[in-house]
Structure 1
Amino acid sequence: MRVWLIQTGEPVPLSKSVKRIRTALLASELASRGHHVVWWASSFDHGSRKFVAPGGSTHRMDDGVELRLLPALGYKNNVSLQRYIDHRYVAGRFRKELKKDHLTPDLIVAATPDYHIAAEAGDYAAKLGIPYVVDLRDVWPDSVVEALPRGPVRMLGKIALLGDFRKLRRTLQRASGLVGMMQSMLDWGLGYADRLQGPNDRVFYLGTEPLPKSDNLFLEELKSKLGPGEYPTVIYVGTFGRFNHPEVLLSAVEQICGETSRRPPFNVIIGGEGDRYDSIRRKYAHLPGVHFTGWLTAPRIAAVLSTADIGVVPWASGIAFPNKAFSYLEAGLPLIHSAGGDLQQIGEEEGFAEFFEPGNAKMLGEHLLRLLKDPETLRAMSKCALQTYSLRFRSEAIYQDYANYLESIENIR
């Protein structure tokens, strides 16, 4: 079977230091079964905000996956007109590629975002009678509108994007199946498709590639900064975007310092970069016990996780299941989070997480202080985290099931 995977927002594993996530793991699983897999991606990396290779280049990966990088314009900010123009440009370059004499795929899996390129894939598939599946990764363009100031500006934004909403609706309604990375995301997509969930609409959680070995040199540097083990360690690893950033954690630390007139009774490691990295680091550089690492390779992420006692997953609003939550669970870390939807439900059911209201630094600080004074509860939550990861979120099992599902979609044509 010839399969096209279309995902322009994930890191492409051109080096072994890049941690593979959803599309890379699915592509590898499909290729291992003898399928010919082409992954259409952007030459611009969303996470690092850097071009990773020339646009129009093709790369053969070690697992046999063919990676085709589309030319891109790039952008600086996560929510910006510049990013919107980049997405439209990449979709246009993909449309031009479709006019070339490529081998016609038997099945297409297109992720949204970006819904522009997913729509191009949907139009192409509908024209040739090819089944296609949409992998729902975020609630765009809804989240674009929500990022605008309330009132007239938001209303004008929604009016300006009416064509995009129609494009998304048409793409989802014609799809052979919808896949969500959580049930609440699938429900959102089914709402736009204007139908109930059917047998070809499924949930496959993100999962993560197993953690690599730690960067030992970096780990020793971390330990020297953290001190002799007097304090437990709380971590945030992720981006510094509009919805997912560590400011609420740093604000909680600041409040604790103000109330006690001393350093917090724990260390904090902040890993990652993004749009708000520089401003947040400047604002909270004075806090004792807080360490910013900047961007992290996968072995360095593993090192950070190995030092931690609690992982914090802040989310500004709405439903989410950030992929770093899976890394925390694999490492056996209790979670404190503010993400609604599946993470909140599963965390409560399985006992590995506590929820705080989005943006509520005081509530987060109270959770941290209480749990860090209760090693027995932390050990129980850690055990639950490891058990939940093993039973529900192992990437190997997730992507085997995902590949089985795609094979069944292709067979119904």
Structure 2
Amino acid sequence: MLVWILQTGEPLNCDGNQLRPMRAINLSKALVSRGHKVEIISTRFFHQEKRFRKNIKKNNITGIKETLVDSPGYKSNISVRRLFDHHILSFNLLINLLSRDEKPDIMFVGFPPIEWSLISICYSFLKSIPIVIDVKDLWPDIFWDKENINPVKKEFIKFLFLPYRIYSILIASLTDFITGPTELIAKYFKNNYQNKFLSKILKNQDPRTFPSPIVPPKEEERIKLDLIKSDPKECLNILFIGSLMSVYDFETIKKSIQILNNKKIKIKLFIAGRGGSENYIKDIFNHIENVYFLGWINRKEAIDISLNCHLALAPYKNIKNYELNLVNKYIDYMSLGLPILSPLEGFPYELINKYEIGWNYPPKSSSTLVRIIIDIIESPNKIKLRSENALRLFKTKYNFEIVYDQLVNKLEQITNNQ
């Protein structure tokens, strides 16, 4: 089976081993291990580092070919230049695909970018190639799906993004399968954007949905929970790891820490990561001495730090993109054996409740969060129990072998049924 993985915005094999693999690399290696051939089609412009990749021929791994599509690039994630880049990138992708003689058995396409996905969908339709759209984020909804947004402003933004909404309708109507970190987000995209008349006329079938969580790569180093951590009654250590963006509510965390400090309850918050809102988040915690910014850390450093922490923090704002999703931060925390503190409703709330892998707190309620933290400190056995639950859930449901075996099985099933 020949699989084309069309994915932008992620590290590739040609980028070396210093960057953590994501969907494209993990899926390609799982496919190759089962005897399949893979071509990863991506962009020469490296989104994460805002640079252009060089010649990659010598970096290819046996069974995996990597092809780069040119685009002008951009400096800011939120900019007209980025929109321009995506349109040029998609046009160049179209030229690249139309120039090919060989076609794959199946296409697996990362969504967003919308333009990239639309070109892939149109090509697969013209060539009668089965295609799976991998919805990681709800675009263009993410631009108006904000907390407490003014209804008039929301409708105006939706009007501005009308072309992208039309693109999404075409994508949802012409695809064969829609997947995502949860089936909820895949079904939401389908139900929100599929035009059933278009699907019936052009495809004569309804897109089917299935979940495919985004999980960490296989690792030699394993987390051990039998190591003795410091007593949380002496000082509770909380860890946040991730890109520092505007999607987090750190204001509530700040107020909670201030209340705890006034009560003379010892707590430390370690924030690891960088991002566009880094300076803003640092300003929030200005003059609070027990909050530490660690900068970017790699996986080994994350493991080392987690061994001295009791809890992990995931203070997302409540928007549909996260309420329906299982972001990789949750799975990363589970893999580290850290119970999760989260205000998210929806799927993450149910996951934490059902498997007892952490604590949910009401959004923007610093007083309730303080009560939860005090209860945690006074009942250290709860930390140990939920830490064990988190690691067990990761090993039994969200580890690399289980998730990618299921995904490869699904792709094989799709091609065998053609």
Pairwise same-fold verdict (TM > 0.5):
yes
1:203 maps to a residue whose letter is P
Q: Counterpart of 2:417? A: 412
Q: CA deviation at 1:366?
A: 3.0
1:326 maps to a residue whose letter is I
Structure 2: distance between partners of 1:277 and 1:291 = 13
Structure 2: distance between partners of 1:246 and 1:23 = 31
Q: Counterpart of 2:237? A: 233
Q: Counterpart of 1:340? A: 345
Q: Counterpart of 2:225? A: none
Q: CA deviation at 1:339?
A: 2.5
1:385 to 374, 386, 390: 390
Q: Counterpart of 2:378? A: 373
Q: How does 1:286-305 map to 2 (within 5 A)?
A: 286-305=287-306
Q: Counterpart of 1:69? A: 68
Q: Counterpart of 1:163? A: 163
CA contact (8 A) 2:176 2:207 kept: no
Whether 1:207 and 2:207 are equivalent positions in the alignment is no
Relative distance call for 1:198 and 1:232 in structure 2 (3 A) is farther
Whether 1:402 and 2:401 are equivalent positions in the alignment is no
SS in 2 for 1:307: coil
Relative distance call for 1:70 and 1:199 in structure 2 (3 A) is closer
Comparing 193-202 with 142-151, greater Cα deviation is found at 193-202
Relative distance call for 1:43 and 1:301 in structure 2 (3 A) is farther
Relative distance call for 1:59 and 1:6 in structure 2 (3 A) is farther
Relative distance call for 1:229 and 1:361 in structure 2 (3 A) is closer
Among the aligned pairs, what percent are the same residue? 21
Structure 1: distance between partners of 2:213 and 2:32 = 20
Q: Counterpart of 2:33? A: 32
Structure 1: distance between partners of 2:370 and 2:68 = 44
CA contact (8 A) 2:175 2:207 kept: no
Relative distance call for 1:74 and 1:145 in structure 2 (3 A) is farther
Q: CA deviation at 1:341?
A: 2.8
Structure 2: distance between partners of 1:369 and 1:73 = 52
Q: Counterpart of 2:226? A: none
TM-score, reference length from structure 2: 0.86
Relative distance call for 1:296 and 1:67 in structure 2 (3 A) is farther
CA contact (8 A) 2:249 2:316 kept: yes
Q: CA deviation at 1:247?
A: 4.9
Q: CA deviation at 1:63?
A: 5.7
TM-score, reference length from structure 1: 0.87
Q: CA deviation at 1:306?
A: 2.3
Q: How does 1:4-403 map to 2 (within 5 A)?
A: 4-13=4-13, 14-46=15-47, 48-51=48-51, 53-54=53-54, 60-62=59-61, 64-101=63-100, 103-147=102-146, 150-191=150-191, 192-193=193-194, 200-211=208-219, 213=221, 230-244=234-248, 246-257=250-261, 259-260=262-263, 262=264, 265-318=266-319, 319=323, 320-403=325-408
CA distances 1:2-36 after superposition (whole Å, capped 9, x unpaired): 11111213333422222222222111101112222
SS in 1 for 2:372: helix
